[in-house]
Amino acid sequence: MNKKMPKSTVSSWNESVDGPVSESAMRMKIESLGYSVHRYVYPPGTMFPEHTHGVDKIDGVVSGRFQIVLEGTAHDLRAGDWIVVPAEALHSAKVIGHEPVISLDGVRKK
């Protein structure tokens, strides 16, 4: 049975609502949505081949540029952007450009 995945879109930081974008502010925002958050730094050239996760996730970008291809659609994320990756959604990711990516990886709390 082929389960239809919900559509996911990129969300961008809204300074007029959330204040200036920062790592701590983005962490608090993602945690407030019900996710446990871990910080990762990916050097230029980092690539993750297509894969899935058994839980809903959020990938947020604090700095750098990160491209996530989710169910065949490419999303270029910059500082202040995040995307929900539904459980079992096929996706890949790569660092774009010459700057490392600081990423906040949120995993839905059970």
SS3 label, residue 21:
coil
Domain range for 98: 10-108
Exposure letters 33-51 (e unless 16+ CB within 10 A, then b):
eebebeeeebeeebeeeee
3 in a structural domain = no
**pLDDT given for residue 12 in this prediction:** 93
**pLDDT given for residue 110 in this prediction:** 76
How many structural domains are present in the chain?
Answer: 1
Q: What token pair was written down for 23?
A: 């790592």
**pLDDT given for residue 15 in this prediction:** 92
Q: What is the CATH number of the domain that holds 87?
A: 2.60.120.10
Render pLDDT for 41-100 as a digit per residue (tens, 0 to 9): 999 999 999 999 999 999 999 999 999 999 999 999 999 999 999 999 999 999 999 999
1 in a structural domain = no
